[in-house]
Amino acid sequence: MEADELNIVAFRDVGARETWVAIANDRQHVEVTAESARRLHAALGALLGEVGGSMIPRER
């Protein structure tokens, strides 16, 4: 199984106070606030630190 490439963009609607982060490709789309993205970043960093390279598929 190949990994899909994802695009990441931060945006703020005109006149809005909150910044959003979108992570998307042609088939999937997630939008979170910048604050949620920061918490997600911290949680993913902690998780990947715990599992090390065990989640990274090896080439065959």
Could you tell me which residues are beta bridge partners of residue 21? Answer: 10, 32
How many domains in the chain? 1
Q: Would you say residue 59 lies in a domain?
A: no
pTM of the predicted protein model = 0.71
Per-residue pLDDT at 50 exceeds 70: yes
Q: Would you say residue 1 lies in a domain?
A: no
Distance CA 45, CA 55 (A): 13
Per-residue pLDDT at 54 exceeds 70: no
Q: Would you say residue 45 lies in a domain?
A: yes
Q: Would you say residue 39 lies in a domain?
A: yes
Q: Would you say residue 19 lies in a domain?
A: yes
Q: Which domain holds residue 23?
A: 7-52
Distance CA 35, CA 59 (A): 35
For 4-34, write each residue's pLDDT tens digit: 899 999 999 999 999 999 999 999 999 999 9
Q: Would you say residue 46 lies in a domain?
A: yes
